[in-house]
Amino acid sequence: MSKMLTTITLLCFSVAANADVYFCTPQGLSYLAPDDVTDIQYFNRDASENEIFIVDTEKGFRQERDDDYRGSCEIITDPIPWIGWVCNAVGERYQQETLLITDGRLFTYSHHFGVVTIAPTVTTFGGRCIKA
């Protein structure tokens, strides 16, 4: 019985020790919106104005200005064993968010923003991550 408890404890600690933390800085962005959407301040930014994304593979991801992590992350294992992380979130703030970190520490983040008062848009950031 004690061997089983020891094994379970070691397995739990090894999983907790596998969490990775990344700081991802946007270097470029793009927008996709309907033709009639032209007067949104959000479109007048460049990538340097965007905050760093903080990814904790156990907690999810957030931007610097946010207090709470959102979504969940999992290792990408298909088609190649471990080519990076993918994090997804669905919530009130945005309909869908996805953040992908490749093995080469490049990342892309996109969100589909479509609420009743604003025409649906897709915003995508790309850049580099530093592993903490």
Task: Give the amino acid at 123.
Answer: T
The residue range of the domain holding 42 is 19-131
Residue 71 near residue 59, CB atoms below 8 Å? no
Domain assignment present for residue 4? The answer is: no
Judged against a pLDDT cut of 50, whether residue 8 lies above it is answered with: no
Overall pTM surpassing 0.85 (yes/no): no
Write down the pLDDT at residue 130. Answer: 94
pLDDT interval class at 38 (50, 70, 90): low
Highest mean pLDDT among 15-24, 34-43, 76-85, 120-129: 120-129
Q: Answer whether residue 104 is part of any domain.
A: yes
Residue of 67, 80, 129 lying closest to 100 (CA atoms): 129
Does a structural domain hold residue 82? yes
Residue 128 in this model has a pLDDT that exceeds 90? yes
Structural domain includes residue 7: no
89 pLDDT above the threshold of 80: yes
Give the tokens for residue 71: 């979504």
**How many domains does the chain fold into?**
1
110 within domain boundaries: yes
Q: Which residues pair with 70 in a beta bridge?
A: 61
**Tokens at residue 74, please?**
């999992």
Determine the pLDDT at residue 14: 42
DSSP per residue over 45-82, as a string?
--GGGSPPEEEETTTEEEETT-SS-BSEEEEE-SSSS-
Q: What is the per-residue pLDDT for 90?
A: 86
End-to-end CA distance of the chain: 38
pLDDT interval class at 6 (50, 70, 90): very low
Q: Please identify which residue in the block is written with the tokens 């983040």.
A: 109
